[in-house]
Structure 1
Amino acid sequence: MAVCDASSSSTKVVAYSIIMHFVIRKIMIITLQPLHLCGHRKEVTALSLSHTDSPPLLCSAAEDYIIVWDLNAAQQYERQGQQIRGRTVSQLLGRPEYVCFSSDDAHVAVCTGKKQLMTLEGHDGIVLCAAYCPHFTSTLVSASEDRTFKIWDLSNQSLIYQSTIISSSPFISIAMNPMQPTFAVGTSDGILRIFDLSDGSNFCCLHSADVAKVLSRADKELDAPIITTQAPVKICSRPVLHPPPTEPTDPSSSESEAGYAIISLGYIQGRSTTVQTPTLPCPTFLNHDSSVVQEVLGEAPVIAVATSGALVLLDAFTMEFVSLASLQSPIEDQSGTQHTVDLAGNATFATGSDNQLFCIVSNLLCDQFNILRISAAENGSKNSIDELSVLSCAPLLEESPLRSQFNTKPKATPIKPFSAAKPAVMGGLSKKGKILDGQPVTFRSKVKSSGYTQAPRSIASHEFPMESSAPSLQKATLDISSKSTAVHSVEFSPDGQRLACAAADYSAQVFKMPLNGKGLAFVCHNGSVSSAKWSHCSQMMITSSEDKTARLWHVANFTEPLLTFRGVNNSREEKTNLLFSKAVRSAQFYYIDQFIILSVGKSFHLYKYHLDPNKSDIKSQTPLAYDLFATSAASDGIRLWDLRSNRCVRRYEGHLNRAHSCGFSFSPCGRFIATGSEDRSAYIFDIRSSGHLHKLTGHSDTVSDVAFHPLHAELVTATLNGKLRLFADHL
């Protein structure tokens, strides 16, 4: 069965085979008399329609002939009462399993059990599917029962790439992405994989998804089953080793059960991930455009997956569930009549006008087929959010902790370094150490001006090389200790003058840039140090540890901490202070050093302090960049989220992360994401695409964390054996 895939055509055509001849119908005029084309003596096993309608062509394949039909000429011959004839392009090739036209309709590829057309041989099993790349007209991808796929160059009649056996089941479907040089393949066990066809990508796997798991999650999200019992409930006390005898079932009454084999795939230009937001009252230096972010938030293609029991739409960038249509549930047509497919024997997709996708599904149990129309725009409307943005367009709520900086504050009193404070509220200390409500905790008697009376200095747009390439050349290597010590975290100070490292030997180290000597090491905790983060002013550093504490330091004195966080209330009175029950995994400054956030177990704690930040140094990024944030999880890659639509817009995979915590970092220009990996490498991704740009090898252990330099195109990597490596865009 085949369907015309010409978006410019006003009427769509569907063709399906009946033993030794086949029938042509128009989708929009499905009740018209069909066009019968006869020319084969054996069963027609594969059909394909051309991509254009000037003229519309149809290729039919059987064991005897491969015939190409001109449909306009066939209709004219039928009206004149003449015999309809096609052009035989080949014969006696064996049983064809698949046939398709090239993107320019100049060639036809036929997959048989013996060999491929144009003498392209090499598969050890029957070739089940093949497809031409719409971006490279001489490139053909074929998949076989031998569980491999091959990429051919037809202009040179040569093999470009041969995959290894990457699946336990054969590939049975394939689809090309018309928007980007990628292709998707589906297996008989329901695994969907997307591969990269662009130059220099080594045809790596970008994404993979298990259709069975996707359907299971979709059932829970869309329609959770409700168990109702109308008969009396039977409770059995027999042990599991001796189950009660089961009553014999009638085979004739058993219902058909759909599997998860991917019988067909198709692409459609999806919904736009951007959301119209109102004009935000942001500073003028934030009002420049960013083509990088616009590309990330542009239209995401949707991939349609047809199984024997359902049609599933997935986001091609993130493999997130978009929509689901069960073929075993009643489907209502335009006249109100309900239809069910039960089990799909075959399916094919075609894109139409107005961003619609047509799916022709044949019934495995009877001689009929159904035509389904899917619109990606309708499926994405439920996720839109109108007025959510990181840049505030409304006043803060009265109960918001961010309002604490606008409260009227009495004159602050200098305190000693061991002073305590109260989380998420304003709190100061008197001379006797008593906490006074409504007063900030300060470390200096004089507070510098905020700098808002003059134009802010933009670090990222003027000092960092915004158009530089990704740092991929190793520039320096350094051991933080004579013994092998794991490095859990690395971070550059905002001024780019220092590099902080959190180590497993209970210490933290601070290196001065350039990275060419030993740093200042100091024991800061009684357990492994999990993170070391800088303040916005580059004068403070906060560390967290497995000893269930976090400590605040000043760059002028690393011998004694300014403040130690031991409990929820962080009070010196043990009766009122609830100590942390778990390790402090992360600690960082927030809101231009106005707050400190601690991550403890499954919760985080927000503390309010006044740390005298230099607010004139504000990094300049496009407003849309503040709507994005990224998360990472073991065995799930890195996900980029859009806060306005509350959905994942990109997913970055390819690096190995199963057991250890591998950190990642954004480049100051906002174009790259770097991450560590357990395969002793670091990966750099372009934020606009899913494939990695560079794989930084040469490490001797798991890369636990990475950090971009704020002023130069440099990247530092840290490994679990205590080695630092510095990479740059040039030497």
Structure 2
Amino acid sequence: MEKPQDIFSTNDDHIDDIVTEKYLVESKESASHVQLACSKHDCAFPLNGNELCIWNTKNPFNQLLILRGHHQSITAVTFGNKVNPLLICSASEDYVILWNLDECKEKVLQGLIPRGIVIGTLLGKVLCLRFSPDDHIVAVCAGNKIFMLDIEVWDHCKGTLIYNSSVLTAYPLLSLFIHEESKQLVTGCADGQLWIFSLIERHHYRCVTRIDLRKKRDSFCTKKVKSGLCSQLEESQLSSTNELEKVEKTEVTFPVLTLEHCDLSFNLNSESEFLSSENTKCLWIGSSAGLFIFNLANFELEAVLHYKDYRSLSIKVVGSCAIMNKTVDQKVFCLLTSLFGNKIAVLKINLAALVRSQQCPDMGKNLSVLASSCVLPTSPLYFGSVEKKSTKPASQKQSAVRNVIKDQPLVFHNKVRSSGYTTSPHVTMFSPKTNVKNDSKRSSKCKQSYKCKKYPLEISLPTKLSKQVVLAHEPTAACCIQYSGDGQRLACGLANHLLLVFDASLNGTPAVFSGHDGAVSSAGWSHDRKWLVSASQDKTLRIWSVRSTELTLLLGKGMFSKPIQFAQFYYIDSFLLLSSGPELHLLKYHIDTCKDEIKRYKQKSKFKPVHTLSMTNAVEITSLSAVNDFYSYVVFTAGWNRTLEIFDLNAGCSAAVIPEAHSRPVHQICQNKGSPFTAQQSEAYNLFITTAIGDGIKLWDLRTLRCERHFEGHANRCYPCGVSFSPCGQYIACGAEDRSAYVYDMGSSTYFHKLAGHTDTVTSVAFSPTASQLATATLDGKLQLFQAE
């Protein structure tokens, strides 16, 4: 063991609560652009060119183990995967040497010189080393060749190339990581780009997504400032950050120097527990300017650490980086070398403190889709109540799902196919009406005659095309499709001004509802399935009788200055909910089907505006979603400024705002509304998805207002394509521009199944609430029905 004079250590843990420089060494030669290595308790790096230096983090004396055997400068170092024995391999242009670390330590204690085993000679400049999972083979990358060096036995069944990728970028690839659980390959480039590929066999190594690290960093910092997360430490560092703005402008990219597993095996918040070791798949990204924690589930940054923000650090610009993939007491060690000097430093990072300090506050902790309190007397939803009766406390009422578990945010389990969040408990079928208003009239109105038919969870997904019909004589786009609550009928709004209603099997002639003068932008069923509401670009809203196909209520063009984009029944058919321009309208309505022969053309049905809300900054609403199958106060909206806004209609005001939810405006919000024919845990109803052109699909949790998963892979760059939740809550379907529909599993960011056979862009999708069926509609006016094989 040696402790050179040009080495000093800093053991003051009070310098900073997040980052501490534990060790610093000045080498005779620069170790920049050298592959460094870290194991659970050891850091390995070249010292003075040809000496291999090992620093053990548990050594109380901070002594170094120096291994000599190379004559030329070491260019790559790596640790083995096993702990006993712990192997380390070092490479230079002359030798590739294998060391048994335990044996080397014993020889040093005995006063002997440790020796390694030369397993390769004169291979050229080695850029990268990697052990096989069983530590029997070392892969050596030298120049444009890869050598497989045997340690004990090499029994490769096949040594042929399985895939050859085209040129990804003009910049060199600097790092590579394979995530076995998600079956994804991540590679980092010198221009700061991350490329993520799917390793699932039937996906043919397709590119899932490409991430610009600089843009992600800028977006993360912007959200951090807007949410008021700048700590006192960061505020004190703003002056130093401003001084480095000129340097920042000249820094074009964040080269991805290393990729490593990030171990978040601890609870960051005992109450919310939104990050869990078993469920959060994160990576460390080491770059020249800082460290990043990247979430593979939602493709977002969880934390950012800039070296320049910590004055106690000796290295501000990094040439090489290595990070431990395991935490010790929620701490992790990072090994850095200077880009422009000869310094080598070891940092101790308090991972829990780093991530906790940069997480958004739990802004949605008091929000829930399921109503859990009485309607306030000042609430817009209180309108129309004749008798004011006292209601029981929410705790005494029948729960939406009887086996209510502790309310906790969305997490995903990697041991099962789905997230586990929507696994159906073995209880009575779902009926979350939450009768918060003890009104006998309304309660009797809400009684249903659903048969206790369980949704088929055990059968396979609907992947077989069973039926296809043409919607019109001439090609016309299908703008929306929706199943009725009992799954017996399917409504389809068309661009040719018509609204069609099919039998669920698509057999027979559809019922035709005509009268609109513009494309039917939305269609919705009433809870009792007697009425249909449709909105059109002609600035009108119409309610139709399903049985007679007659118009029963018309909201004319003069009522709204802009087209009605979305309309639906709300609060178990008590209200109409619609959006026009930047405004959200709540209307009370009364339908009268009696006919007066004298005044046969006079409309007897009535409506009355109850409440109007506007989005923040008065931006136009692009999407709207609310639950009608049970009592819920929450309404989701999206605006042209890429913002999501949640309204609480019990309080009659905005409850939360999510800025920059997507890179483009959201064109559809879809809630996990469940089905009367299957049961879900109560937490599952707080999940909702959003989709935007060119930005995939995002899964959100209302209680944390966080994007929990990002679904990428379907082509959607020009035309708005629809999305749909399965009744069991385990799958998401979406349309695409490559004449296919895609089905995603909630526990994976890559698609689970691809449904081909369409003739044009798939614009709308809808799961049946009663059977394993999926309906899809295309831009050329065709309706397809997929069933389980």
TM-score normalised by structure 2 residue count:
0.70
Partners of 1:254 and 1:585 lie apart in 2 by 44
Cα offsets for 1:543-564 (capped at 9, x unmatched): 11111122111102223x2222
Q: 1:642 is matched with which residue: 695, 701, 706?
A: 701
Matches within 5 A, 1:139-218: 154-177=156-179, 179-218=181-220
Partners of 1:599 and 1:168 lie apart in 2 by 47
Matches within 5 A, 1:499-648: 499-559=490-550, 561-566=551-556, 579-609=559-589, 618=676, 620-648=679-707
Q: Secondary structure at the match of 2:223?
A: helix
Partners of 1:465 and 1:693 lie apart in 2 by 18
Which residue number corresponds to residue 237 of structure 1? none
Which residue number corresponds to residue 114 of structure 2? 84
Q: Which moved more, 1:198-207 or 1:678-687?
A: 198-207
AA partner of residue 391 (structure 1): L
Identity of aligned residues (%): 34
Partners of 2:294 and 2:45 lie apart in 1 by 27
Checking the alignment, whether the CA contact within 8 Å between 2:139 and 2:149 is kept in structure 1 is no
Deviation at 1:21, TM superposition (A): 2.0
Which residue number corresponds to residue 345 of structure 1? 319
Structure 2: where are the runs of 5+ without partners?
1-34, 227-233, 240-245, 390-440, 593-627, 632-674
Change (3 A) 1:676 1:271: farther
Determine whether 1:61 maps to 2:112. no
Checking the alignment, whether the CA contact within 8 Å between 1:268 and 1:356 is kept in structure 2 is no
Deviation at 1:36, TM superposition (A): 1.5
Deviation at 1:407, TM superposition (A): 5.1
Q: 1:4 is matched with which residue: 38, 41, 54?
A: 38
AA partner of residue 138 (structure 2): V
Checking the alignment, whether the CA contact within 8 Å between 1:497 and 1:512 is kept in structure 2 is yes
Deviation at 1:17, TM superposition (A): 4.3
Deviation at 1:627, TM superposition (A): 1.4
AA partner of residue 2 (structure 1): L
Checking the alignment, whether the CA contact within 8 Å between 2:483 and 2:490 is kept in structure 1 is yes
AA partner of residue 689 (structure 2): A
AA partner of residue 156 (structure 1): K
Change (3 A) 1:354 1:605: farther
AA partner of residue 449 (structure 1): S
Partners of 1:635 and 1:155 lie apart in 2 by 42
Matches within 5 A, 1:305-316: 305-316=285-296
Partners of 2:122 and 2:582 lie apart in 1 by 66
AA partner of residue 657 (structure 1): N
Q: Secondary structure at the match of 1:644?
A: coil
Q: Secondary structure at the match of 1:650?
A: strand
Change (3 A) 1:64 1:14: closer
Q: 1:390 is matched with which residue: 366, 369, 374?
A: 369
Q: 1:46 is matched with which residue: 52, 76, 85?
A: 76
Checking the alignment, whether the CA contact within 8 Å between 1:308 and 1:343 is kept in structure 2 is yes
Checking the alignment, whether the CA contact within 8 Å between 2:521 and 2:536 is kept in structure 1 is yes
Checking the alignment, whether the CA contact within 8 Å between 1:270 and 1:299 is kept in structure 2 is no
Q: Secondary structure at the match of 2:685?
A: helix
Checking the alignment, whether the CA contact within 8 Å between 1:663 and 1:706 is kept in structure 2 is yes
Deviation at 1:450, TM superposition (A): 4.3
AA partner of residue 570 (structure 2): Y
Checking the alignment, whether the CA contact within 8 Å between 1:539 and 1:554 is kept in structure 2 is yes
Deviation at 1:68, TM superposition (A): 0.5
Q: 1:22 is matched with which residue: 52, 66, 79?
A: 52
Cα offsets for 1:480-524 (capped at 9, x unmatched): 111111111111111111111110111111112321333122323
Partners of 1:723 and 1:76 lie apart in 2 by 75
Checking the alignment, whether the CA contact within 8 Å between 1:598 and 1:606 is kept in structure 2 is yes
Partners of 2:512 and 2:454 lie apart in 1 by 30
Q: 1:671 is matched with which residue: 709, 719, 730?
A: 730
Matched residues, number: 605
Determine whether 1:698 maps to 2:757. yes
Determine whether 1:327 maps to 2:307. yes
Determine whether 1:270 maps to 2:289. no
AA partner of residue 630 (structure 1): I
Deviation at 1:115, TM superposition (A): 1.8
Cα offsets for 1:198-245 (capped at 9, x unmatched): 44343333343211111222332345899xxx9xxxxxxxxxxxxxxx
Deviation at 1:716, TM superposition (A): 1.0
Checking the alignment, whether the CA contact within 8 Å between 1:178 and 1:267 is kept in structure 2 is no
Q: Which moved more, 1:706-715 or 1:170-179?
A: 170-179
AA partner of residue 323 (structure 2): F
AA partner of residue 719 (structure 1): T
Checking the alignment, whether the CA contact within 8 Å between 2:44 and 2:52 is kept in structure 1 is no
Change (3 A) 1:404 1:667: same
Change (3 A) 1:358 1:258: farther
Partners of 2:350 and 2:464 lie apart in 1 by 46
Which residue number corresponds to residue 404 of structure 2? none
1 or 2 for the larger relative contact order (CA 8 Å, sep ≥6)? 2
TM-score normalised by structure 1 residue count:
0.75
Deviation at 1:37, TM superposition (A): 1.2
Determine whether 1:365 maps to 2:340. yes
Change (3 A) 1:373 1:211: same
Deviation at 1:51, TM superposition (A): 2.3
Partners of 2:71 and 2:250 lie apart in 1 by 34
Change (3 A) 1:47 1:275: closer
Checking the alignment, whether the CA contact within 8 Å between 1:100 and 1:110 is kept in structure 2 is yes
Structure 1: where are the runs of 5+ without partners?
121-136, 139-152, 231-251, 279-293, 332-337, 411-445, 568-573
Partners of 1:463 and 1:65 lie apart in 2 by 67
Deviation at 1:340, TM superposition (A): 4.3
Q: Secondary structure at the match of 1:491?
A: strand
Partners of 1:80 and 1:119 lie apart in 2 by 31
Change (3 A) 1:186 1:406: farther
Partners of 1:592 and 1:696 lie apart in 2 by 34
AA partner of residue 200 (structure 1): R
Change (3 A) 1:673 1:525: same
Change (3 A) 1:164 1:479: same
Q: 1:480 is matched with which residue: 447, 457, 471?
A: 471
Checking the alignment, whether the CA contact within 8 Å between 1:628 and 1:643 is kept in structure 2 is yes
Change (3 A) 1:370 1:600: farther
Change (3 A) 1:399 1:681: same
Partners of 2:775 and 2:44 lie apart in 1 by 57
Change (3 A) 1:271 1:638: farther
Checking the alignment, whether the CA contact within 8 Å between 2:42 and 2:54 is kept in structure 1 is no
Matches within 5 A, 1:249-328: 257=251, 259-270=253-264, 299-328=279-308
Checking the alignment, whether the CA contact within 8 Å between 2:724 and 2:766 is kept in structure 1 is yes
AA partner of residue 317 (structure 2): L
Which residue number corresponds to residue 671 of structure 2? none
Deviation at 1:451, TM superposition (A): 6.1
Deviation at 1:96, TM superposition (A): 0.7
